[in-house]
Structure 1
Amino acid sequence: MLLNDAVKEAVAAERPAFAGRVVAGALTTRPVAQAVLWARMPLLALVSPRVEVLNEATCQVDIPFGWRNRNIFGTMYFAASMMAAEMTTGGLVLFHNAVRPERFSYIVRHISADFVKPARSRVSFECVQGDEVARAFAQASRSGERVNQLLEVVGRRADGVETARVKVEWSIKAC
């Protein structure tokens, strides 16, 4: 009987890691990610974002520069940049939600951006605040109250020049 309990505990401990790998695998596999985007968020799918990295600490989303997201000034529409920035933080939120056994509701509460250089090439958006997201989920689970977490995303062109700094505040609550 003890061995059976140990196996159950090991499986229960592995479930969160497995769920996180499933979410990360689905979002980083281009055909799967595009199918989900077309079904659930067609405007975002239209600009063809690509999740390059998604793990417990980091999410990186690349967005190509092309006719679908270029404005009359020859730069990327700010709306396309904002969608990619929100997707970057949303990837971390989805990942950390998947690894938790509880159910949560979450929504973007506030967003602000500072566009510092024009984007005329592929832009890579990165958020490295996975630890803060995990703490917010833990706090929401413990308190039962809504927890707000501000996440910062940095967008860089292919040449490494920073194009945007976006702050996205997520509101997370255990259901």
Structure 2
Amino acid sequence: MIKSVNNCTLFLFAFFKIPLLCFCFPRIKKKSLQSLHLYIPLYFFTKNHLGSMYFGVLMMGADLSAGLLAMHCASLSTKKVSIIFKDTQADFLKRAEHAVLFCCDEGDKINQLIDLVCSTEERHHAPIQIQGICSETKEVVARFTLTLSLKAT
């Protein structure tokens, strides 16, 4: 597990654990215990034939923003916490024709879930909301709900 989430550890994590992420050049723009905002540029490897961001890259950004926030919160826990996503739901509202900022502001919910799994030592789930916002127009281009599943190990 990553002990400190920053752009350097994000690159190393991506390179060694999920190499496909390296092609997306994700960058952490804001990080706290309450939120994590992740930026993915639109360029050759993230662009589809219509000039907008691949929906797979959009899903990757949502997964990564919520997952890194959960890893950051879990790194401060007294117990080791296993993190996985159980399911996902996405609404693609507009074509993402510019870079996208993925905003996960569910840190309080994640911290409550971590406290719960550490006290019960059972697996628990919670839906986590993420928004994909166009960097140029500031419009929401996608909304995601990922069910976070945690267990203290």
- TM-score (ref. length: structure 2): 0.93
More strand by share: 2
Give the gaps of 5 or more residues in structure 1. Answer: 1-19
Indicate the structure whose relative CO is greater, using CA pairs within 8 Å and at least 6 residues apart. 2
Instruction: Give the fraction of aligned pairs with identical amino acids, expressed as a percent.
Output: 25
Aligned residues: 151
Aligned to 1:161: 139
How far the C-alpha of 1:36 sits from its partner, in A, is 2.7
- After superposition, what is the alpha-carbon deviation per residue over 1:66-119, rounded to whole angstroms, capped at 9, x for unaligned? 110111121110000100110000111101110001112121101110000100
Aligned to 2:98: 121
Aligned to 1:170: 148
Moved more, 124-133 or 31-40: 31-40
Bigger radius of gyration among the two: 1
More helix by share: 1
* Residues 46 and 68, structure 1, Cα contact 8 Å, conserved in 2: yes
Give the gaps of 5 or more residues in structure 2. Answer: none
How far the C-alpha of 1:32 sits from its partner, in A, is 4.1
Quick one: distance in 1 between partners of 2:134 and 2:148?
Answer: 25
Runs of 4+ in 1 over 4 A off after TM superposition: none
Quick one: distance in 2 between partners of 1:131 and 1:53?
Answer: 16
- TM-score (ref. length: structure 1): 0.82
Alignment root-mean-square deviation, CA: 1.4
